[in-house]
Amino acid sequence: MLTDIIRAVILGIVEGVTEFLPVSSTGHLLLAERFFNLGEGSFWKSFAVLIQLGAILAILALYFVKLWRIATGMFSDPAAQRFVIGVLVAFLPAAVIGAAFGGYIKHYLFNPWVVCFSLIVGGAILLWVDQLDLKPRYHDATAFPLLTYFYIGCAQCTAMIPGVSRSGASIVAAMLLGTDKRSAAEFSFFLAIPTMVGAFVYDMYKNRADMTADNLTIVAIGFVVSFITAIVVVKTFLNYVTRHGFELFAWWRVIVGTLGLIALALGM
């Protein structure tokens, strides 16, 4: 039990740190499983999905006032209605593709080789976009054009490939479509809410037979650790990217992916 608690804490930290950074939480969790024997087994694969809700609750806590205003104005405020529709429009492509091809993707693409290559390629793309002389036209994540929301949602679908990064794909698409760095990052947070809640509900239902009292305790520990870690990371991340951009995270991806490929080639 103690070993499982330590494992839950480590994976909770990994999830909380990487969920909203453009570095791929799924990719890092898969690499942790492969190289450090963390998360092997069907329960631990579900655990990695279930603790994502802790990170999502961190977003709800940090943006409670804004999200509450949108929720209460959903039936009377045109701006709130438009944003809710925008999030749903952005969420729809991933929901459709995930339902149609989710099993195929998990069976064939969830392996460390794919993760490492995706980390490197994604890092190169993030570095390229970060260095472009873009002229942002949109500075409020709740007021993008509806077509912009849709295109961001389409880009998010590429993150079904482990290592791509849901937030990274959303941020890159948003910036290329005319948003500034901070609003691009913020919308990736908001878009994560329906995406991750849907994944949580589906995985909890599918693996309900595995949810024994001991397993629920382990999930709760990872959940809380993920929540606390994500709050710290999100607040720091927004301030950092506003001033410095995404270069640090791009190089982090490249370095982790390269080290992973070397380790795989050596049979580790």
For 228-268, give the secondary structure using H, E and C.
HHHHHHHHHHHHHHHHHCCHHHHHHHHHHHHHHHHHHHCCC
Pick from 64-68, 100-104, 213-217: least confident: 213-217
**Torsion angles phi and psi, residue 74, rounded to 5:** -60, -30
**Torsion angles phi and psi, residue 138, rounded to 5:** -125, 130
Share of the chain above pLDDT 70, in %: 91
Would the pLDDT of 257 be above 80? yes
Among 147, 125, 135, 124, smallest CA distance to 179 is for 135
Residue 33: pLDDT band by 50, 70, 90 thresholds? confident
Query: Region 119-143: what's the mean pLDDT?
Result: 93
Q: Are 235 and 182 in contact (CB under 8 A)?
A: no
Spell out the residues 6+ positions from residue 267 whose beta carbon is closer than 8 angstroms to its own: none
More confident residue, 45 or 260: 260
Q: Where are the domains of the chain?
A: 2-265
Among 25, 16, 23, smallest CA distance to 122 is for 23
At residue 256, the pLDDT reads 95
Structure tokens at 3: 């070993």
Would the pLDDT of 41 be above 70? no
Angstrom distance (rounded) from CA 173 to CA 177: 6
Residue 45 to residues 26, 29, 74, Cα–Cα distance (Å)? 10, 9, 36
At residue 229, the pLDDT reads 93
Query: Region 44-62: what's the mean pLDDT?
Result: 80
Q: What is the torsion angle, in degrees rounded to the nearest 10, for the CA atoms of residue 218, residue 219, residue 223 and residue 225? A: 20
Residue 40: pLDDT band by 50, 70, 90 thresholds? low
Would the pLDDT of 250 be above 90? yes
Angstrom distance (rounded) from CA 17 to CA 188: 15
- Structure pTM? 0.86
